[in-house]
Amino acid sequence: MMSKESVKKRLESEQGMSYTEFTYQLLQGYDFLYLFKNEGVNVQIGGSDQWGNITAGTELIRKILQAEGAYGLTFPLLLKSDGTKFGKSEDGAIWLSPSMLSPYKFYQYFFSVPDADVVRFLKILTFLNMEEINELESAMKKPGYVPNTAQRKLAEEITRFVHGEDGLTEALKATEALRPGSETKLDWETIEGIAEDVPSCSLPYTEVLNLSIVDLSVSSGLFESKSAARRLLKQGGIYLNNNRVDNESKRIEAEDIVDGKVLLLSAGKKNKVVLSAEKNVNTKEPLRLTSKAGRLGKWLFAIKFWKLRVSHKPRYFMDMPGNSSNTFVFLNWVSKQIADPHR
């Protein structure tokens, strides 16, 4: 380790190198040594960024066992156009398991890749023949090209390969259901099926009923202020159950609550929230985040909600000690809400 120029520079720099980072390569090297000695493994394969870790293992084998025949093989990383890589430690990791990432989210990720990436991904990640890929690439450069045609093909091919035909059907159904202006009739099951993939919250049914669309947009966390909600509404960018809201004075009616249980609010095409209108609940109960984001999501949502200016704000803080506005007290209160398994 000390003979490596990169390590020397890091140790001599102001930032230095953590013990964890310093020993990581040692452990990787020892891992190869153990497998070589005890399991007969003589080839280690990894991405090009693992070259140093792999060669640390081959060097350790030669020095300790005086043995030859330990090899390393690396392959180029799949990088995005901005130079970042795919990986489970990266932000927005793409999981293959549907329990970690739904087919809908999986489909949406590849449907949203930039034009700069789509052709390369089609070549690497699908089994389409080169003739079809070249046709898509040529079409992208011609007038009249329908945006995202190549992305749609990429998303369909990869989702079908990973999640099967049923998974692709599920993803396409959810995509259509979530599209603002879609004529697909929404029902409770459809909205509940996508609730894990978009921010979700709940409010008592009696409070949702007759609430203005502007107040509801803020209360649900879709907007941070009424002025922002009004601004987008005037631009035609707010949708209730996929129907554009044109009237600022619009109030929620019973028929707006799908199957008497849930609403889908959208701000533009991408920002959405599923709001559950719960009946027979304690109206003093704080707003609850119910999506897959889990406890971390509850923290982030609660901290964001702290900044909101809502018309019925006192209801959400009446359980706080002394109704204090002190941020520390608020966060302490939030931690107790999160720790409570019944919330």
Are the C-beta atoms of residues 306 and 327 closer than 8 Å to each other?
Answer: yes
Exposed e or buried b per residue across 269-296, where buried means at least 16 C-beta atoms within 10 angstroms of its C-beta: eeebbbbbbbeebeeebbbbbebbeeee
Average pLDDT over residues 9-27: 85
The span from the CA of 269 to the CA of 180, in Å, is 6
Confidence of residue 298 (pLDDT cuts 50, 70, 90): very low
* DSSP secondary structure of 19-58: HHHHHHHHHHHHHHHHHHHHH---EEEEEGGGHHHHHHHH
Question: Where would I find the beta strands (DSSP E) of the chain?
Answer: 43-47, 71-75, 200-204, 238-240, 243-244, 262-267, 271-278, 288-289
The predicted-structure confidence for 147-176, as pLDDT tens digits, reads as follows 999 999 999 999 999 999 999 998 998 888
Whole-number percent of the chain with pLDDT over 90: 37
Domains assigned to the chain = 5-75 (no CATH), 103-178 (1.10.240.10), 190-339 (3.10.290.10)
Confidence of residue 179 (pLDDT cuts 50, 70, 90): confident
Whole-number percent of the chain with pLDDT over 70: 78
Q: What is the mean pLDDT of the chain?
A: 80
Q: What is the pLDDT of residue 302?
A: 46
Torsions phi, psi for 189 (to 5 deg): -65, -40
Answer yes or no: is pLDDT of 318 > 60.
no
Confidence of residue 306 (pLDDT cuts 50, 70, 90): very low
The span from the CA of 263 to the CA of 195, in Å, is 11
The predicted-structure confidence for 54-102, as pLDDT tens digits, reads as follows 999 999 999 999 999 999 999 988 888 888 877 665 556 888 998 888 8
Average pLDDT over residues 121-139: 96
The span from the CA of 319 to the CA of 329, in Å, is 12
Does the pTM surpass 0.85? The reply is no
Q: What is the pLDDT of residue 320?
A: 40
DSSP state at residue 265: E
Q: How many other CB atoms are there within 10 angstroms of residue 27's CB atom?
A: 11
Answer yes or no: is pLDDT of 281 > 50.
yes
Please state which of the ranges 15-19, 87-91, 142-146, 301-305 shows the lowest mean pLDDT: 301-305
Q: Per the structure block, which two tokens stand in for 177?
A: 């259901």
The predicted-structure confidence for 322-333, as pLDDT tens digits, reads as follows 444 444 444 555
Non-local CB neighbours of 181 within 8 Å, separated by 6+ positions? 239, 242, 243, 244
The span from the CA of 115 to the CA of 136, in Å, is 11
Average pLDDT over residues 125-136: 96
Answer yes or no: is pLDDT of 311 > 80.
no
The predicted-structure confidence for 214-264, as pLDDT tens digits, reads as follows 999 998 888 989 999 999 999 999 999 888 998 888 999 998 888 888 888
Residue found under tokens 């109704």: 323
CA-to-CA separations, 286 to 50, 278, 297, 329, in angstroms, rounded: 48, 13, 15, 16
Are the C-beta atoms of residues 70 and 36 closer than 8 Å to each other?
Answer: yes
